[in-house]
Structures are given as structure tokens and as C-alpha cells.
Amino acid sequence: MKKAVVFVDANNWYHNVKKLFEPSEIDIVKVAEFLSKSKGYQLAQIRWYASTPSITDGERMYYKHMAFLQHLEKKGIKVITRKLQRLSNEEVLKKKTTTIDNLDLCKNCRPLVESVFLDLADIKKKEKGIDVWVAIDMIKESIIDKSCDAGILISGDADFTPALELIKSHGKEVLTAMVPWGYSSELRQKFHFTILNQEILRKCFREYRDNKKD
């Protein structure tokens, strides 16, 4: 059975799912298990990528968010966080280049990764690059470390397209999933996809919701 790693772009997930339900009430493990089972994969790991607010933005919001991340970790989810910040194009380029240098890529893979991640288009006022981090980790896990046979991306962001195409070109399987809103048509046209509708998400509520009356 092929091993799959689920990569969750938490910011994209939150902003789109909240149009249907309270995101924190959905068990992301159940979502990951549903997606893996639908393709006949063995779920190897779930990786949750999120930006963290500053305590100066409000203590209540900060501690609530950190408590939620701790809840995810207790469920065995790998949580990867980055602090919110705004970077200039020069700073972004420097950080991306440093990250690529640290990957120790071979001479064939490096030009491909650089062509995807050194593009400075659409950077203005962006968060510190959660999407870039997700994409790099997907490439690392599937192509470089070869720790999974398939990557499942929970995000509707078209910015992931170049990275997913690179992974697919190396013979790895790719699946994307998101609610109907904010789900890029480009992702759905180029890769296997699953639309997480209300019926599916209802089945993925956390346990304490299962016994609630409508």
C-alpha cells in the first residue's frame, strides 16, 4: 500500500472552511483519514502549517491559538509554525535562497526548485511564506527523502501548482482537497482532487459534536 503524507495549509483551510463550519470543530485527522482511504493510501503523517499571531495582537487570541496547536500535537500531528511578519522582496529572496541552500539538492533538482521558489511575483504584504514552506517540504518528503509515495495537499491555493507539477513529474502521486470556496480551478484541472462538501465535513466533526442535536 502506498504511503501518503497530508500537508495542511492551515491559513487557507481556516479562511475557506469557516464559510461552512467553525474550523476548530472539524477533526483534521478524520479528514486526512477520509482522503487517504478514498485513494487506497496508508496515512503516514499529517503536517499542519500555520502562522502564529503575536501576543501583542491580543492575549486571548494568542493563547487560544496556541492551545489549539497543542491539541493537534497531542493527536500526533506534526505542527510547523512561523510567526507573522511582512518582508520586502529582497528579504524574501534572501530567505528563500537560504532555505534552498539548506536542502542540499543535487545538480539536477536544484534548478527546478529554484525556478519555482525564487519567483518574486505576488509577494507584497504576504505572510512569511507558509505556502512556500509547505511546497518545499512536499518536494523534500516526496522527491528528496522519498518518505512517501503520495502527497495530499489540503489547500485551494493555485500557488502550489508548480511544486505539485514537479512532484508529479518524478512519478509521485498528488491529490488536492478543499471546500468548494477558494478552490483553484487550476489545481482541479491538473491534479486529482476532492471537494470537501458539507456532507463530508459533517462526518469529520470532533467527537463532542457527534451527539449534539441539530
Q: What is d(CA 28, CA 1) in angstroms, rounded to the nearest whole number?
A: 22
Torsion sign (Cα): 205, 176, 64, 198: negative
- Bridge partners (DSSP) listed for residue 49: 9, 80
Q: What is d(CA 32, CA 93) in angstroms, rounded to the nearest whole number?
A: 33
Residues 73-96 have pLDDT tens digits of 999 999 999 876 555 566 666 767
Mean pLDDT by 10 residues, the chain (214 residues): 97 94 94 97 97 78 89 95 65 70 76 64 50 92 94 96 96 96 94 96 77 44
Architecture of domain 3-85+147-210: 3-Layer(aba) Sandwich (3.40)
Residues 125-163 have pLDDT tens digits of 345 478 888 999 999 999 999 999 999 999 999 999 999
Cell 484541472 found at = 189
Residue 207: per-residue pLDDT: 72
Torsion sign (Cα): 21, 193, 2, 200: positive
Q: What is d(CA 120, CA 134) in angstroms, rounded to the nearest whole number?
A: 17
